[in-house]
Amino acid sequence: MSEPAPRPPGAHVAPGYIVLGHLHRSRAFDVYDAWSEERGCRCVAKALRPDRREDERAVRRLLREGRLLVSLSHPHIVRGYDVVKEPEPVIVTETIGGETLAHLVEERGHPLAAADVAQLGLHLCSAVGYLHRRGYLHLDLKPANVVAEAGRAKVIDLSLARRPGRLPAGLGTWCYLAPEQARGGAIGPAADIWGIGLVLLESASGRIVFDDESCSDETPYYPQLEQAPPPLASLRRVPAALARAVDACLRPEPGERPTVVELEAALAQVEGVEPPPQLGGAPAGLSARG
């Protein structure tokens, strides 16, 4: 059975929001480039696929993400504009220029300069620390969910964000899960520290760490339960302070990983990085260099 087509350009994805183009399709959702008639600007609209409109679980997940996004206000997290409930649920966010790290690093094969990796880590720590203080875990940090825009990293896609606690096994993207996420059970802030570490490791090395074409979210297995990610220094020559910080994020036991504050302090020690004001400096930009 063929998949139903997404909404065409010119159609309304929700009252006041006109489809300009189709950006992405997942198992449950379609993401559109859209025009906001009220704001007079482009935006991004996330809606249920036509064949998933009766999926109550997907509806709840979409509305939960929308409510969370519009409640947040942070320069390193995508801004939520609107949550539409009728005639069907749609969430609307800002349009972000730039490229995802997945495209920048994995597809182009351009690892970031060491100082830029550390600065990226500081941006992610800022976003994740804010999210944690609001009582949520992101749980799906990966290069495809981080956009580099005009010297700033922005975290997108909070569809899996949850309160800390006991969570089902395998919640997230199989190859980016912290070991405790893969197993399921008690999950806390250390799971997002793992996510930051893996994003930084791939951004610094230009390599996908756990890459097996036979695996997918539908048929996963979890290599992170069987083997540790390689030390950063084994993949690329980088400052020792950066290697120590990244490797610490990827320790198998959650209690052995640094906190967000500890990770910020470690990344601020990398040569060429301007630390945040509370650590003695002002944030610098993020750029792509070999």
- Walk me through the domains of the chain, giving residue ranges and CATH numbers: 12-93 (3.30.200.20), 99-279 (1.10.510.10)
- The pLDDT of residue 110 is 77
Count of Cβ atoms closer than 10 Å to residue 276 Cβ: 17
- The pLDDT of residue 162 is 95
Residue 11 region, left (φ>0) first, then alpha (ψ -120 to 50), else beta?
A: beta
CA 146, CA 135: separation in Å to the nearest integer? 21
Give pLDDT tens digits along the chain (290 positions): 678 999 999 999 999 999 999 999 988 999 999 999 999 999 999 999 999 988 999 999 999 999 999 999 999 999 999 999 999 999 999 999 888 999 888 776 778 999 999 999 999 999 999 999 999 999 999 999 999 988 899 999 999 999 999 999 989 888 899 999 999 999 999 999 999 999 999 999 998 888 765 555 566 678 888 888 999 999 999 999 999 999 999 999 999 999 999 999 999 999 888 777 766 543 333 333 32
CA 56, CA 267: separation in Å to the nearest integer? 42
- How is residue 40 written in tokens? 């007079």
Assign 3-class secondary structure to 40-103. CEEEEEEEECHHHCCCHHHHHHHHHHHHHHHHCCCCCECCEEEEECCCCCEEEECCCCCEEHHH
CA 63, CA 159: separation in Å to the nearest integer? 9
Strands, DSSP E only, in the chain?
12-14, 17-25, 29-36, 41-48, 80-84, 90-93, 99-100, 146-149, 152-155, 165-167, 185-187
Quote the pTM value.
0.90
- The pLDDT of residue 286 is 37
DSSP secondary-structure letter at 15? T
84 neighbors 91 (Cβ within 8 angstroms): yes
Is the bond preceding residue 283 a cis peptide, omega within 30 degrees? no
